[in-house]
Amino acid sequence: MFKFARAVLLGLFLGLYALAHDNSGIVKYSSVEMYEPTPMPDRIVLTWEDNPATTQSITWRTDTSVKKAFVQIAVANASGRDLNPDLFEAKTLFFQSDINQAHYHSITIRSLNPNTLYVYRVGDGVNWSEYFHFKTASSYPEPFSFIYFGDAQNEVRTHWSRVFREAFRDAPRASFILHAGDLVDIKDMDSNWGEWHEGPDWVNATIPLLATPGNHEYVKYSEAKRTAPEISAHWQPQFVFPIQNIPDERLKETVYYLDYQGVRFISLDSNIAQEEQVPWIRSVLEKNPNKWTVVTFHHPIYSPGTDRDNPHLRKLWKPLFDEFKVDLVLNGHDHVYSRTGDLAGAKVENVPNGYQQAYDPDVGTVYVVSVSGPKMYEFTKGNYAKKILEDTQLYQIIKISGNDLRFQAFDATGNLYDEFKLKKHKNKPNQLIELSK
């Protein structure tokens, strides 16, 4: 009897195992139950659609029973008592995913005080989240840091989450987190986005993020059914970014800029309408009053993959970066780490057209490609780069203070791999100072 019961249990276990795994042994859990929305707020994210010194955008998700949603917000104090928070009603959007129906709620709080710590919570009046803190930016250039991630994309819950948390351990006071595209693998799969939210968890509710879309935020699951590219249906409901005289409606909340404490951050969309963005890029760079300029988009200007070169993109956008001496360009897509730098005296051969001056000391722009998830590619060309690394998950911490920009790249276990400094000089290109071996 015992042997029979054990055999039945073993058979049941093997059957469930087979349902939950594919031939690779990777767990295929039931996303329907795991990522079901409830009346309690989840997927809370801070972004900006306007000035980070005086506004804060907040989005979150509930089930469809929540018809009205609110934010309570106040200046934070040390006791948590006598807050007397202001109450604001959010906009509510119905959303049909591949596995469930939900309501997404969003609001931009305005007229905030610069350089001030606020406390807030979201809910429907009965079901409230916990209280979170966020801090508005200063109105003036002041030192700050941010975290930069290349593609998360695959096995996000299993392997990317630890990279995010290691980065947060190293930079818990980062002002925001920048994602250079391919946040997920399958653009409209709710479980993919559920994993992506689960990695940062509550951190997204207290540290804002900037994101630019990758090709996996555009491509269809089945290439046979691929139509004209459209951004993931999840993008706009869960992220609120600026809309600034974009040249094409399809670029809404993917092409934008934000000024943060003396730095202009520019997100471009390398997936579509590349030529249409050229006049917009010129305008944003020409009218830039900030000391520093950081640009992010998904596909690299300088790809470390022979079959992944982007000569058309390089021809369109690099002359603008050169003309206006953009300081730093942050990319993803190629699932390796590469970083340009001065190769004076080095022998650079057999590189594609346009790579000979991947780092031009008369311009000073540094180009970085990085990856944070576990999907890896190989280098098929890398002699244009100062630093290259494959088969490694990484995160980057960037600190900007006055005339100095300090860049550090760490592997998933927290070991420093690459470090350099850009030093700004009046009427001269940046000085690139190598700090790693």
Query: pLDDT by residue (tens digit) across 104-141?
Result: 999 999 999 999 999 999 999 999 999 999 999 999 99
Based on the structure, what is the number of domains in the chain? 3
Range of the domain at 51: 42-135
Q: Do 255 and 315 belong together in one domain?
A: yes
Q: Are residues 72 and 15 in the same domain?
A: no
- Residue 118 maps to a domain: yes
**What is the model's pTM?**
0.91
Per-residue pLDDT at 54 exceeds 60: yes
> Which of 90, 111, 135 delimits the end of a domain?
135
CB neighbour burial string for 238-251, b if at least 16 within 10 angstroms, e if fewer? bbbbbeeebeeebb
Residues 215 and 73 in one domain: no
Give yes or no for a contact between 145 and 173, defined as CB atoms under 8 angstroms apart: yes
pLDDT at 408 over 60: yes
Q: Which residue has the higher pLDDT, 14 or 239?
A: 239
Q: Are 346 and 275 members of one domain?
A: yes
pLDDT band at 228 (very low <50, low <70, confident <90, very high): low
Task: Identify whether 12 is part of a domain.
Answer: yes
pLDDT of residue 382: 75
Residues 310 and 209 in one domain: yes
Strand partners for 118: 75, 134
Q: Do 31 and 99 form a contact (C-beta atoms < 8 A)?
A: yes
**224 and 372 within one domain:** yes
Percentage of residues in the chain with pLDDT exceeding 70?
A: 89
- Whether residues 322 and 423 fall in one domain: yes
Q: Are residues 356 and 382 in the same domain?
A: yes
**3-state per-residue secondary structure call for 386-437:** CEEECCCCEEEEEEEECCEEEEEEEECCCCEEEEEEEEEECCEEEEEEECCC
Q: Is residue 159 part of a domain?
A: yes
Does any domain span residue 197?
yes
Whether residue 273 is contained in a domain is answered as yes
Asked if the structure places residue 36 within a domain, the reply is: no
Q: Specify if 52 maps to a domain.
A: yes
Per residue in 392-403, pLDDT (tens digit) is: 999 999 999 999
User: Domain containing 251 — which CATH number?
Assistant: 3.60.21.10
Nearest of 177, 179, 183, 180 to residue 146 by alpha carbon: 177
Query: Which has the minimum average pLDDT: 67-76, 147-156, 354-363?
Result: 354-363
Here the tokens at position 234 are: 């999840």
Q: Could you tell me if 194 and 72 lie in one domain?
A: no
268 and 325 inside one domain: yes
Residue 354 pLDDT? 75
Same domain, 74 and 199: no
Same domain membership, residue 414 and residue 376: yes
Residue range 162-187: mean pLDDT, rounded: 97
Distance CA 71, CA 75 (A): 13
